Amino acid sequence: MTETKRSYERMTVINRITTKLNRFAQLSNDTRAAAELSRLGLPYLPWSDASLLPSALQVVLNEIEINSRKTIVEFGSGISTIYIAKVLSRVGGRIVSFESDVEWATFVEDRLSALNLSEFVSVVRAPLGPSKLSRNNLNWYDQGIVASALEDLSIDCVLIDGPPAYEVGYEMARYPALPALKEHLAQDYVVFLDDIHRAGEQKILQLWSDQFGIKFLRYFSKGNISRGVHGTAHFTV
Ligand SMILES: C[S@@+](CC[C@H](N)C(=O)[O-])C[C@H]1O[C@@H](n2cnc3c(N)ncnc32)[C@H](O)[C@@H]1O
């Protein structure tokens, strides 16, 4: 066996062990996060495979709370929107959440209303369509609708969990988010991208990192979310 082949096999074994260890850490982080999230006092919410994992959501909520993020923009509404609104109802701030599925947007709005959280959230219906910013001609949220919803915002926190990008060919679907927000980002801001275990999201992080000068931390054992800080963030999350 050549030295190159031996070294390749060693790396494969190390990768397998790291993946297994991450899985154990993931379980334990989700259990702890779910216990902390339950302290927010929300009723049952329909978590699904589409939702952020509890440990990833906890990273986002910690950021809002301890680094005082007040103007949040989200792509892909859901359970995350409701939990963020709940934290904002205590610490102040607002979230604008873009959603492409009209019925899902109504579902989220109804839950927010039932929980008296509507004043902290705008769920913006933005169908997917062609975008000048997209890679591989993939559809993105209607840019006219996005632009008018952002008009006077100075955004200090972005959460990107949409559009859906799990199918083959859709890997770069989430790329336009940061370029589209460019003119509205505060001097200090944080960006979260979910699903970074996928090749497409890793490529997107690389592109944003080069274009925006952001260094991304990758939380593989906390729901595969990544956190990139531009400027200062006083506390770790
Ligand atoms: C990754 S999900 C966004 C999830 C959201 N950020 C959360 O944590 O709940 C991306 C898109 O999937 C759709 N979606 C969300 N929850 C869903 C569900 N339970 N079933 C089907 N589609 C869903 C919505 O259109 C959403 O924008």
Residue 20, pLDDT score = 81
Average pLDDT rounded to a whole number, residues 69-91: 98
CA of 2 to the centre of ligand 1 (A): 48
With cut-offs at 50, 70 and 90, classify the pLDDT of residue 10. Answer: confident
Residue 83, pLDDT score = 98
pLDDT higher than 90, residue 164: yes
pLDDT higher than 90, residue 4: no
Residue 178, pLDDT score = 98
CA of 232 to the centre of ligand 1 (A): 30
Residue 121, pLDDT score = 98
CA of 50 to the centre of ligand 1 (A): 5
Phi and psi angles of residue 13, each rounded to the nearest 5 degrees, phi first: -65, -45
Residue 22, pLDDT score = 80
- For the domain spanning 3-230, the CATH number is 3.40.50.150
CA of 215 to the centre of ligand 1 (A): 27
The residue whose C-alpha atom lies closest to atom 17 belonging to ligand 1 is 50
Residue 19, pLDDT score = 80
CA of 141 to the centre of ligand 1 (A): 14
pLDDT higher than 80, residue 1: no
The residue whose C-alpha atom lies closest to atom 2 belonging to ligand 1 is 50
Of the given ranges (12-21, 94-103, 154-163, 225-234), which has the lowest mean pLDDT? 12-21
Q: What whole-number distance in Å separates Cα of residue 30 and Cα of residue 56?
A: 8
Ligand 1 atom closest to the CA of 46, numbered from 1: 19
With cut-offs at 50, 70 and 90, classify the pLDDT of residue 45. Answer: very high
With cut-offs at 50, 70 and 90, classify the pLDDT of residue 23. Answer: confident
CA of 105 to the centre of ligand 1 (A): 10
CA of 52 to the centre of ligand 1 (A): 9
The residue whose C-alpha atom lies closest to atom 18 belonging to ligand 1 is 50
With cut-offs at 50, 70 and 90, classify the pLDDT of residue 66. Answer: very high
The residue whose C-alpha atom lies closest to atom 1 belonging to ligand 1 is 50
Residue 232, pLDDT score = 83
Q: Ligand 1 pocket: which residues have CB below 6 Å?
A: 48, 50-52, 76-80, 99-101, 104, 161-162, 164
Ligand 1 atom closest to the CA of 79, numbered from 1: 9
Average pLDDT rounded to a whole number, residues 140-156: 97
**HSE (CB half, 13 Å, CA atoms) of 7?**
3
